[in-house]
Amino acid sequence: MNLRRDVFQAIADPTRRAILLLVASQAMTAGAIASNFDTARPTVSKHLQILTECELLKQEQTGREIYYHLNPKKMKEVADFIEPFRQMWEARFNKLETIMKKYKHK
Q: Are 56 and 75 in contact (CB under 8 A)?
A: yes
Q: Does 40 bind another protein (CB under 8 A)?
A: no
Query: What's the length of the chain?
Result: 106
Q: Does 80 bind another protein (CB under 8 A)?
A: yes
Counts of helices then strands in the chain (DSSP H, E): 6, 3
CB of 40 to another protein, least distance (A): 14
Residues near 84 by beta carbon (within 8 Å), at least 6 away in sequence: none
Q: Which is nearer to another protein, 38 or 64 (CB)?
A: 38
Residues 45-74 that bind another protein (CB under 8 A): none
State which of residues 3, 42, 62, 85 lies at the interface with another protein (CB under 8 A): 85
- Cα–Cα distance between 11 and 19 in angstroms, integer? 10
Residues at the contact surface with another protein, assessed by CB under 8 A: 11, 14, 17-18, 20-22, 36-38, 78-80, 82, 84-90, 92-97, 99-101, 103-104
